[in-house]
Amino acid sequence: MKRLFYLIASVAILFAAAASANAQEAGTAKKVDTRSIFFKGDFFVGLGGGPSVYHGEQDREMKYHHRLAPAMDVYLGKWIFPWLGFRVAYTGGHANGVTNADSGFVYSTGEIYDHHPDGNKAIFRQEFDYLSVRGDLMLNITTLALGQNNGDRVYDISFYGGLGIAKVYDELEASRFAVTLGLYNTFRVAKAWDVVLDVHAMAVPEDFEHETGVRPGKKKNGLYSFDGILTASVGVAYRF
């Protein structure tokens, strides 16, 4: 809970600073701006939260709705052109799954979730907290298809790809390479405010939770190549 409080407080400060800067700019006379496009407007900052699902080796044996867990997105970005932008994003959340180990480094809680179909082995609940920090390159699909938004368009959808690192909170010293693909949906509700639906999938190394496995029906050469985290967050974004 402390981590969540610190994150929310940090984002609140970002929102307040952005709103203050926008108000000061509105109250002063416009001057000729000769700065690079990298330092002009079209910045945005956002906060969202929603369900996530971790996809690991044993997790298919857990009911899908039991795997749902909370996640949070925080980001700061800029549109370089109306159709091209980038952002720095943080995603943190909780993961629910199962493992065939009752203890150890696979984050088993030791609580029996169910038994394998053959009835000879138990599967145990698995839980851990994770975080990722990444850079996203964003393409506004709506602008590419329909042209620049002059303020009268309510909905935009952008595709993005990101590269970064992911960590488990219990092992913050261990960084793992992560790749993210997502869809950033914005619904304009005010001059500078959007409601956002951000859906993204992040791929992490197979042993992210210290567990490896073979795909059903495969031999040893059928190892999974990565684990995945699917997240759908709803939030707000402020443009300045």
pLDDT greater than 60 at residue 29: no
Token output for 238: 């402020």
Under the banding of pLDDT at 50, 70 and 90, the label for residue 122 is confident
Instruction: Label residue 223 by pLDDT band (50, 70, 90).
Output: low
Q: Given pLDDT bands bounded at 50, 70 and 90, which one contains residue 108?
A: very high
Q: Report whether pLDDT(19) > 50.
A: no
Assign 125 a pLDDT band (cuts: 50, 70, 90): very high
Q: Residue 224's pLDDT is what?
A: 64
Residue with tokens 């169910």: 114
Mean pLDDT of 72-79: 98
Q: What is the mean pLDDT of residues 185-189?
A: 97
Task: Look over the chain and give the mean of its residue pLDDT values, rounded to a whole number.
Answer: 84
Under the banding of pLDDT at 50, 70 and 90, the label for residue 212 is confident
**Band of pLDDT at residue 1, cut at 50, 70 and 90:** very low
Is 208 buried (19+), middle (13-18) or exposed (0-12) by CB count in 10 A? buried
The mean pLDDT of 121-135, rounded to a whole number, is 94
On whether the CB atoms of residues 129 and 97 are closer than 8 A, the answer is no
pLDDT for 10 equals: 52
* Range 38-239 classified under CATH 2.40.160.20: yes
The Cα–Cα gap between 230 and 194 comes to 23
Q: What is the mean pLDDT of residues 150-172?
A: 94
Q: Is the pLDDT of residue 124 over 80?
A: yes
Taking 50 as the threshold, does the pLDDT of residue 72 lie above it?
yes
Strands, E, within the chain: which ranges? 43-55, 69-81, 84-99, 108-115, 122-140, 155-168, 176-188, 193-205, 226-239
> How many Å is the Cα radius of gyration of the chain?
21
Q: Which two tokens stand for residue 191?
A: 């001059």
pLDDT-derived band at 216 (thresholds 50, 70, 90) equals low
In the predicted model, is pLDDT for residue 58 greater than 80?
yes
Residue 60 predicted with pLDDT over 70 = yes
Residue extents of the structural domains in the chain: 38-239
pTM for the full predicted model: 0.80
Tokens of 28: 């002063």
